[in-house]
Amino acid sequence: MAGKYDKYVINPPHVQICAGDDGRVVFDGLMVQHTELGYNMLMGLQFVTKPVVSDNPCHTHNFHEFLAWYGGNPNDPEDFGAEVVLYLGEEMEKHVFTRPTIVSLPEGFPHCPLEITRVDRPIIQIEIMLVGEGGTREALFEKDKKTRKPVTVKVIGKTGR
């Protein structure tokens, strides 16, 4: 049944993103883009059930980004059961998260690589990028600028309203 406010309801499609270097799946979840939202924002959510290494070298964006990790236990929101390693800044300062965490990455701030090194129980990873058309990802170090291969994005489901 069509409703008066259907335009405000979005069913994000199931999306897989594969690494450019070896084709391994680095994102397998729900993702909605600015074109579906009608707002300069992209949001992705995935359940992480095993360790994963992203294919992103230390890089920057021309937009603000948020990364978040939550435990999957509805009875205990602080039950995390995983270990996330993220490097921040030009110095690649190592940060290890073993509890629910949100990281705010301002425009131009160097970050990554990212590794989820241990998963005892499924966790939830959320990415929010405040960007529409014209978003960039630039490798910070010269050695990485020439080696980045394009990722493959496969949309498995359809966006619905």
Query: Is 72 within the bounds of a domain?
Result: yes
Query: Is 116 within the bounds of a domain?
Result: yes
Query: Is 21 within the bounds of a domain?
Result: no
**Considering only 2-6, 43-47, 90-94, which range has the smallest mean pLDDT?**
2-6
Query: Is 13 within the bounds of a domain?
Result: no
User: Any idea what the CATH number is for the domain that residue 133 is in?
Assistant: 2.60.120.10
Residue 132 structural domain: 45-142
Mean pLDDT of the 102-108 span:
98
pLDDT in tens, 111-155: 999 999 999 999 999 999 999 888 988 889 988 887 666 666 778
Query: Is 68 within the bounds of a domain?
Result: yes
Measured distance CA(96)–CA(115) in Å, rounded = 10
**How many helices (H) and strands (E) would you count in the chain?**
2, 13
Q: Which helix (H) or strand (E) holds 149?
A: none
Query: Is 96 within the bounds of a domain?
Result: yes
Measured distance CA(32)–CA(131) in Å, rounded = 12
| Stated pTM of the model | 0.88
